[in-house]
Every structure is written in C-alpha cells, then in structure tokens.
Amino acid sequence: MNYIENKFFSIKKLIPKNIEILAVSKSQDISYIERLYKIGHRDFGENYVQEMIEKYKKLPKDIRWHMIGRIQSNKLKYIIPFIHLIHSVQNMKQIEIINKIALKYNRIVHCLLQIKIGNEESKSGITSQESYKILESENYKIMKNVKIIGIMGMASFQEETEINNEFVYLCKLYRKLKNKYGHYILSMGMSRDYHIAIKYGSTIIRLGTSIFGDRIKL
C-alpha cells in the first residue's frame, strides 16, 4: 500500500457512505488514475478536454469521466460520446450545444449548473435566478438529450465562516431545486473544505491534492 491508496481510503473511511468522491486527476499522471482504478474507484474529474481525451483513450472504458472545468464549446463534441457528468454548465448556449451533440450519439448527457457564490466578479458560475430561468425555459424543457440533475459550486474564501455561509447558500438552493425539479446532486467541497461541505449536504466532493498530492505540470 502506498501514499495515494492510503490517502483515498483514509478519507473514504471518515466520510458518510452515501457521499461520492470524485478523484480530480487533472495534471496528474495516468499511473495515479490506474492505481485508484485498481482498488475499485471509477470516478475521475478533469478540467481540460484535451487532457481528458488523452487519458480516456489510454484507460479502461468503464471509468466515469467528469468535466469540472470551464466548458470549451468547440471541443464538447470530443467528450459527449463518453462523458458521465458535466459539472460546469453555465449558460443556455452550452446546454443547446450539448443537447445537439448528444442527440447525434443517441445519449442523454447529465449536467450540473455551476453556481456562483460570493461576490467576486471574476468568479465563474451563474446566479440562482439564472438557474431558475434556464430550468423554467421552454427551450430547455423540450430538450431530450440533456438533463440537469443538480448544481456545483466552489467556495471563494479561505476563511471558515465565509465558506460556511457560501455552502449554506448552495445547500438552500439545492434543496429548493430538489423539491421543485427532483435534482439529486450537490457537487460541493474540495480538498481544503470538503469536511465543511459534507456538513451542508454535499453529495459529491471533488478531491485532487488531498488524494494525489501536489499537481505536476504535464
């Protein structure tokens, strides 16, 4: 047993059983993914299409790939055939493109809306109002090949009380969407704050460095 496997198991042991771990393998070597795969883990997250595709080609096909980075619309066509979940959808245009490509491949692609929390202009994501607007739009309702099943968010502050406030905000929105639309995924929490995210009802935590160690430049 070594570092990565130990880290993974020690985190898994400490969190409730119903919470999924997404192993964020961006900028990590393929051999690291293989090691977690060998011990039965299947969910991996990447933030660049190109990198995901290279890894997808070389690795077993029952891996569930999650896109967590900014959507590059012109490259969506490369991942739609196999993607398991897109966490970072931010507008109607992207949803339309995903739907259109997914139709070609006869798939229903599951997506999360990335919600902006905190007030920083630079933060990516959409507001809760914008998310309702999308979910209520006729345009979305008639789409058959894309399905929004929840939301994703990233805390913007390092400070614990701020992180708490932001996760409470996401949790409240998630509960409303769950009641109204049957959403069932709240993708919330990273290495630095997953212990807080779990307190506020996260269903998927996205862990990179806490499992794999520091990211290397590939």
134 forms part of the interface with ligand PLP (CB under 6 A)? no
User: Do residues 177 and 131 make contact, with C-beta atoms less than 8 angstroms apart?
Assistant: yes
Q: Which residue is nearest to ligand PLP (CB)?
A: 208
Question: DSSP assignment of 82-145, as one string?
Answer: T-SEEEEE-SHHHHHHHHHHHHHTT--EEEEEEEP-SS-TT--SB-HHHHHHHHH-HHHHT-SS
CB of 172 to ligand PLP, least distance (A): 21
The CB-side HSE value for 86 (13 A sphere, CA atoms) comes to 31
Element (H, E) at 149: strand 146-153
CB of 106 to ligand PLP, least distance (A): 29
CB of 148 to ligand PLP, least distance (A): 17
* Residue number with CB closer to ligand PLP (69 or 118): 69
* Residue number with CB closer to ligand PLP (143 or 154): 154
User: Do residues 60 and 90 make contact, with C-beta atoms less than 8 angstroms apart?
Assistant: no
User: Do residues 201 and 19 make contact, with C-beta atoms less than 8 angstroms apart?
Assistant: no
Mask 166-205, x = binds ligand PLP (CB under 6 A)? ------------------------xxx-------------
Mask 40-79, x = binds ligand PLP (CB under 6 A)? -------x--------------------xx----------
Query: Nearest CA to 127 among 151, 111, 148?
Result: 151
* Residue number with CB closer to ligand PLP (91 or 191): 191
For residue 15, give both structure tokens.
């969190």
CB of 39 to ligand PLP, least distance (A): 19
* Residue number with CB closer to ligand PLP (64 or 107): 64
The CB-side HSE value for 44 (13 A sphere, CA atoms) comes to 31
Return the range that interacts with ligand PLP (CB under 6 A); candidates 29-37, 117-125, 126-134, 207-215.
Answer: 207-215
Q: Which of 4, 21, 23, 24 binds ligand PLP (CB under 6 A)?
A: 24
Query: Nearest CA to 136 among 172, 178, 176, 181?
Result: 181
Query: Nearest CA to 93 among 115, 69, 72?
Result: 72
Kindly list the residues in this chain that would bind ligand PLP in the complex (CB under 6 A).
24, 26, 47, 68-69, 154, 190-192, 206-210
